[in-house]
Amino acid sequence: MLQYDRLFIGGDWVAPSGTATIDVISPHTEEVVGRVPDGTPADMDRAVAAARQAFDHGPWPRMTMPERAEVVGRLAALYAARQAELADVITLEMGSPIAFSQMAQAPQPLGMLQYFSELGKTFAVEDERPGVFGPVVVRREPVGVVAAIVPWNVPQFVIMTKLAPALIAGCTVVIKPAPETPLDSYLLAEMIKEAGVPDGVVNIVAAGREAGEHLVAHPGVDKVAFTGSTAAGRRIGAICGEQLKRCSLELGGKSAAIILDDCDLGAAMGFLSIATLMNNGQACVAQTRILASTSRYDEVVQAISDMVAGQRVGDPADPATGIGPLVARRQQERVEGYIRAGIDEGAKPVVGGLDRPRDRGWYVAPTVFAGVSNDMRIAREEIFGPVLSVIPYTDEDDAVRIANDSDYGLSGSVWTADTERGMDIARRVRTGTYGVNMMNTMDPSTPFGGYKDSGIGRELGPEGLAAYLEYKSIARLG
């Protein structure tokens, strides 16, 4: 069992202020596999104080951006050497299939560190523009102390969407991992210390909701960067709004994959299996609404059903596993509740349903619903599990209408033999990311975020770095 009794604050391992602990439970075995301290509001106060001291008086914000990029580059090298270990720990704590952990959970955060390290070497901190009365210098400065609050589904990925650009910008950070997945953050803390990041620049305190809200509302925090549910995002946004505190919110999704009539279904299924079921369906970008024309509807239902039925369900540590368990019993019960709701509303489960595939572990049968209309709950609400709905459309305009008929606007895709036709549809669907014959895999160099209830702001790319900068205009005469 992985056990820690300290918190990472001020560049050191310190004793928590309380005695409560967080038990990390394997979603596969339902046994305790780790234990860490449960951070308290007092621990958050200490972490913010350390970050505040490091920002107000430490060297980090005063270093040049290329100097900070060099340190982040050292962190990237250490991270590269520990990818396999990180993948194993994430699979252990939250049930992600090890193949997905090795493909995405560990490599993608590394890619972000490498990207922002390179960007920081050339990014213009100042530029001069002609003004009405003379030249004006536009200067970019770090926003300050950042509270990074991250979910359990892709813990290192989401940490790095915030940490990497914040570090390059010159910010200091307090990270609050989710209580379900605190173990990987301890490995990160070890690397941060070894890389020579100055004390207090990064602080990590795993905790629950009460301590998290205390962190959000803390007057010493200048910006909150949150990824999680839309409901929690609304609460965080309200607190930040009251305080005029900067915030970025990456929230939920209910993305649609539009399958056009000229699509080669056999060729598309391999990509769609990732786009729809990645991480056991626990992905905000998952394409859980499959839109098929009425003329090919039955054919698409069959192809999707065969693809889902072919997924191996079982031990997430087995490289052959396609679908592992959900993160917690409450998540298992939540997803089963949606399956029940789909049946009650008249949709037909052609694969899966309410029979659990395993007696032990928080497993749900991967499920495909046919006969779904876009007004059903399973088509409107984010399920966050391996449940897909196949929805019919009449023509391309109807497909775009259905795709846009959602409270969310995070991702989506179109599948067609005509790429230019696909690009036309991509421009009409109101989402922050989109893929033509692929799923947009959140390239570190391009902005990621959503429209509508999917959030506020963008992460990754130069736009993601800009989210951690304040802009100052300095005019001068002479």
In a domain, 449, yes or no: no
Long-range contacts of 237-243, Cβ-Cβ distance < 8 Å, separation of 24 or more: 237/456, 239/213, 240/216, 243/217, 243/219
Element (H, E) at 164: helix 155-169
Q: Quick one: 295 and 235 in the same domain?
A: no
In a domain, 138, yes or no: yes
CA–CA gap between residue 236 and residue 234 (Å, rounded) = 6
CA–CA gap between residue 398 and residue 423 (Å, rounded) = 17
In a domain, 314, yes or no: yes
Q: Quick one: 10 and 107 in the same domain?
A: yes
Q: Quick one: 83 and 158 in the same domain?
A: yes
Residue 432, domain extent: 256-444
CATH number, position 416: 3.40.309.10
Q: Quick one: 299 and 428 in the same domain?
A: yes
Q: Quick one: 260 and 247 in the same domain?
A: no
Q: Quick one: 16 and 131 in the same domain?
A: yes
Interval 194-244: pLDDT, tens: 999 999 999 999 999 999 999 999 999 999 999 999 999 999 999 999 999
Spans of the chain, pLDDT less than 50: none
Domain count, the chain: 2
Q: What is the three-class DSSP state of 48?
A: helix
CATH number, position 178: 3.40.605.10
Beta-carbon contacts of residue 13 (< 8 Å; ≥ 6 apart): 6, 7
Residue 250 main-chain phi, psi, to 5 deg? -110, 110
In a domain, 345, yes or no: yes
Q: Quick one: 275 and 320 in the same domain?
A: yes
Question: 125: closest CA among 467, 466, 478, 475?
Answer: 466
pLDDT score recorded for residue 441: 73
Whole-angstrom Cα Rg for the chain: 23
pLDDT score recorded for residue 477: 84
Report if pTM > 0.75. yes
Say what the alpha-carbon torsion angle 385, 389, 395, 400 is, to the nearest 10 degrees.
-30
Q: Quick one: 189 and 244 in the same domain?
A: yes
Interval 383-417: pLDDT, tens: 999 999 999 999 999 999 999 999 999 999 999 99
> Which residues are catalytically annotated?
250, 284
Q: Quick one: 22 and 35 in the same domain?
A: yes
